[in-house]
Structure 1
């Protein structure tokens, strides 16, 4: 299971809406030794086209230096898919928020990272938020859980903290 705080998802969706119809992009980052992202870093889409994205090289280098200085790492590549998909608009059976062929090729460069995709058909449409990773070269959808806090993300909804 991949847990991500709701406030981070809200930031990502707001970014995707602002940049629509151009694909928004960014990174979810967190402490080096942890497995949960703590902040969203929106980035400039250097491609500036509706159906593709590329991180600004200058921002990407700046982010890498900042992460090194803060003891953080990249955890999830984030981008949106607008309704200008690389696949036909016919019913492919795939969700809008599904990695494109190019996404999958790029996922192979960073096999330790997950890819969070926000599907938007219009700027004000309900977002479709999904996450994926590669396993043995195959795209696998993550069991994504949006949580208010990471404190009890691993427990059930009926769990309560122990009394001291």
Structure 2
């Protein structure tokens, strides 16, 4: 199960709506081995496409250097689908290279009305993708993540 705080959930949804009609993408980093999504990093979709996302290789390299220096790992890898349901495509499955990450998809297909209003619903779903196998998991949105205990 993915447990995510409300502020991070809202920020991911806002990013997906803001980048619509192109796909949005990003990472939520957390302490290595913790499964705690703590630091949202919005990325630029280098493909600039409504049907495909691609992390800029230089930005991604920089992010991994930064996470390594901070003893972090990608806990959530997210992107949006602008015209289809929030389910991983074959391309998404092929690109999934982080076996411990939660792969979040946000569908913005139903959130825009004819008058341009974006207050409609989004679909927010999470998956584990390991060796090409997709498993949907529950998402728990909490006010705040529980504090971690620090060693004495």
TM-score of the two chains, using structure 2 as the length reference:
0.86
Taking the aligned partners of 1:80 and 1:73, their CA distance within structure 2 comes to 21
1:135 shift after superposition: 5.0
Q: How does 1:1-164 map to 2 (within 5 A)?
A: 1-83=1-83, 85=84, 96-107=85-96, 109-121=97-109, 122-123=111-112, 124=118, 125-135=120-130, 137-151=132-146
Structure 2: 5+ residue stretches without partners: 113-117, 148-152
Q: Deviations over 1:36-92 (max 9, x none)?
A: 110110000000010000001111011111111111111111100001x4xxxxxxx
Taking the aligned partners of 2:35 and 2:70, their CA distance within structure 1 comes to 16
Taking the aligned partners of 1:38 and 1:59, their CA distance within structure 2 comes to 19
Moved over 6 A (4+): none
Q: Which residue of 2 aligns with 1:88?
A: none
Gap change, CA 1:74 and 1:104, over 3 Å in 2: same
Q: Compare CA radii of gyration and give the structure with the larger one.
A: 1
Taking the aligned partners of 2:129 and 2:65, their CA distance within structure 1 comes to 26
Taking only aligned residues, the RMSD between alpha carbons, in angstroms, comes to 1.6
Q: How many residues align?
A: 140
Taking the aligned partners of 2:65 and 2:32, their CA distance within structure 1 comes to 14
1:138 shift after superposition: 2.3
Taking the aligned partners of 2:132 and 2:45, their CA distance within structure 1 comes to 26
Gap change, CA 1:126 and 1:30, over 3 Å in 2: same
